[in-house]
Amino acid sequence: MKRYPIAKPYLTDKDRSSVMAVLNSPYLSLGPRYKEFEKLFAKKIGAKYACAVSSGTAGLHLAMIAAGIGPGDEVITTPFSFIASANCILYVGATPVFVDIDPVTYNMEPAEIEKRLTKKTKAILVVHIFGQAAGMTPILKIAKKHKLKIIEDACESVGAKYNGQNTGTFGESAVFAFYPNKQMTTGEGGMVVTDSRKIYELCASLRNQGRAENMQWLDHQYLGYNYRMDEMSAALGIAQLQKLDFMIKKRQELAGWYSKHLGAFPGLVGAPITARGNSHTWFVYVVKIKNKKTDRNLVIKDLQKSGVSTKPYLPSIHMFSFYKDKFSFKKGDFLVAEAASQSTLALPFYIGLQEKDIKYICNKLIKVLKHHDEKSK
């Protein structure tokens, strides 16, 4: 039986030889590759500067520090995200203030933001979830009106556009991530992009123990971290970046096949929707189970028996025990996010899947959903 994992990276001989070249050199960290990767990545996104770091989470932490967010501040963000986008607010001693999401795109619902503003609100941390941009026009308008900073968590949306503009170019800074399940990978890794020289220099110093640029190890200006990206990761990033457009095209093709084969069963399963004006770069392919009585965990188990791995995607952050305990969140606080968390399922999605594989996966999914649909009647 063929087995389908949820994700896997797309690696070629070019990736391998790029990393090997580093291993044949004496520079495994703080060499020439991370600088080169930064330049190429900044150019690709259309930002002035890029600062390579050890993970997306590390990048988000630095972006929060660089924005001057600290104890007593509140940051508006979404509960329907990977936990790092809320944790980074806690790292700097500030408070995440969640707003509910749009049921179609799963991104932050702009109309909810103003209801949650207080005198302490300093910034909006926008997450572009699953590879599609949030509604930036209304969000930017609110930010301008209330003098709030915008920081983008673009970790899932490399290459995605909103009305023709790249995600990662709307805020004072934005963060990308390169874990192996993302659209492009460096193993572990992340990137902070910005048009501000000051923010770039601060992030570059903070990732390297707060060392003053160009002063070797003579002085440390700030309390810094070791958030450096090593040269093997950077070399892989360069090779991956060269084929990013190709990989995104492939992902769009995969998504098209899924939507084609699921489209015939709109009562059972909802295919993801791309909002007008958006280009979607498909970090994951997430469907919605329509029958609320269907036990999703049994669906996951049944599909696993056919070799098809699937996963609830995503649990809402405010329902994690750490957040629940710390902020006394309860069920019903963010209804749309919770409903999404209960009904969504990520399907196998990686370059290398053929249309016949996707047809097989869809057939299995529909069969299992039909079975559970009948049972619930």
- Residue 125: closest CA among 201, 200, 63: 63
Considering the complex, what minimum distance in angstroms separates the CB of residue 72 from ligand PLP?
A: 24
CA distances from 174 to 95, 132, 200, 203 (A): 19, 15, 11, 12
Q: Is 360 in the site for ligand PLP (CB under 6 A)?
A: no
For strands 173-177 and 149-153, give the pairing: parallel
Q: Nearer to ligand PLP by C-beta: 83 or 300? A: 83
Q: How many chain residues touch ligand PLP (CB under 6 A)? A: 14
Q: Is 179 in the site for ligand PLP (CB under 6 A)?
A: yes
The residue type at 195: D
Q: Is 190 in the site for ligand PLP (CB under 6 A)?
A: yes
Q: Is 81 in the site for ligand PLP (CB under 6 A)?
A: yes
Considering the complex, what minimum distance in angstroms separates the CB of residue 83 from ligand PLP?
A: 8
Q: Nearer to ligand PLP by C-beta: 55 or 291? A: 55
Chain positions 266 to 295 lying near ligand PLP, rule: CB under 6 A, are none
CA distances from 146 to 94, 124, 134, 150 (A): 18, 11, 19, 11
Considering the complex, what minimum distance in angstroms separates the CB of residue 56 from ligand PLP?
A: 3
Would you tell me how many other CB atoms lie within 10 Å of the CB of residue 200?
23
Q: Nearer to ligand PLP by C-beta: 56 or 272? A: 56
* CA distance linking residue 111 with residue 134, whole number of Å: 12
Chain positions 316 to 335 lying near ligand PLP, rule: CB under 6 A, are none
Beta bridge partners of 125: 151
Out of 177, 191, 269, 346, the only residue in the binding site for ligand PLP (CB under 6 A) is: 177
* CA distance linking residue 363 with residue 371, whole number of Å: 12
Q: Is 173 in the site for ligand PLP (CB under 6 A)?
A: no
Where is 124: in which H helix or E strand? strand 121-127
In order, the DSSP letters of 248-274 are HHHHHHHHHHHHHHHTT-TTTEEPP-P
Chain positions 7 to 66 lying near ligand PLP, rule: CB under 6 A, are 55-57
Considering the complex, what minimum distance in angstroms separates the CB of residue 325 from ligand PLP?
A: 22
Give the 3-state secondary structure of residue 81. coil
Q: Nearer to ligand PLP by C-beta: 156 or 338? A: 156
Q: Is 82 in the site for ligand PLP (CB under 6 A)?
A: yes
Looking from the CA of 183 toward its CB, the CA atoms found within 13 Å total 31
Considering the complex, what minimum distance in angstroms separates the CB of residue 129 from ligand PLP?
A: 7
* CA distance linking residue 209 with residue 206, whole number of Å: 6
Q: Is 152 in the site for ligand PLP (CB under 6 A)?
A: no
The answer to whether 217 and 211 are in contact (CB under 8 A) is yes
Q: Nearer to ligand PLP by C-beta: 17 or 226? A: 226
Considering the complex, what minimum distance in angstroms separates the CB of residue 312 from ligand PLP?
A: 15
Out of 19, 63, 69, 84, the only residue in the binding site for ligand PLP (CB under 6 A) is: 84
Only one of the segments 80-88, 199-207, 296-304, 305-313 lies at the binding site for ligand PLP (rule: CB under 6 A); that segment is: 80-88
Q: By beta-carbon distance, which residue lies closest to ligand PLP?
A: 56
The answer to whether 52 and 37 are in contact (CB under 8 A) is yes
Q: Nearer to ligand PLP by C-beta: 56 or 171? A: 56
Looking from the CA of 136 toward its CB, the CA atoms found within 13 Å total 25
Q: Which two tokens stand for residue 347?
A: 């399907």
* CA distance linking residue 289 with residue 287, whole number of Å: 7
- Residue 224: closest CA among 75, 83, 29, 54: 54
Q: Is 156 in the site for ligand PLP (CB under 6 A)?
A: yes
Q: Is 191 in the site for ligand PLP (CB under 6 A)?
A: no
Question: Which residues contribute to the site for ligand PLP (CB under 6 A)?
Answer: 55-57, 81-82, 84-85, 127, 153, 155-156, 177, 179, 190
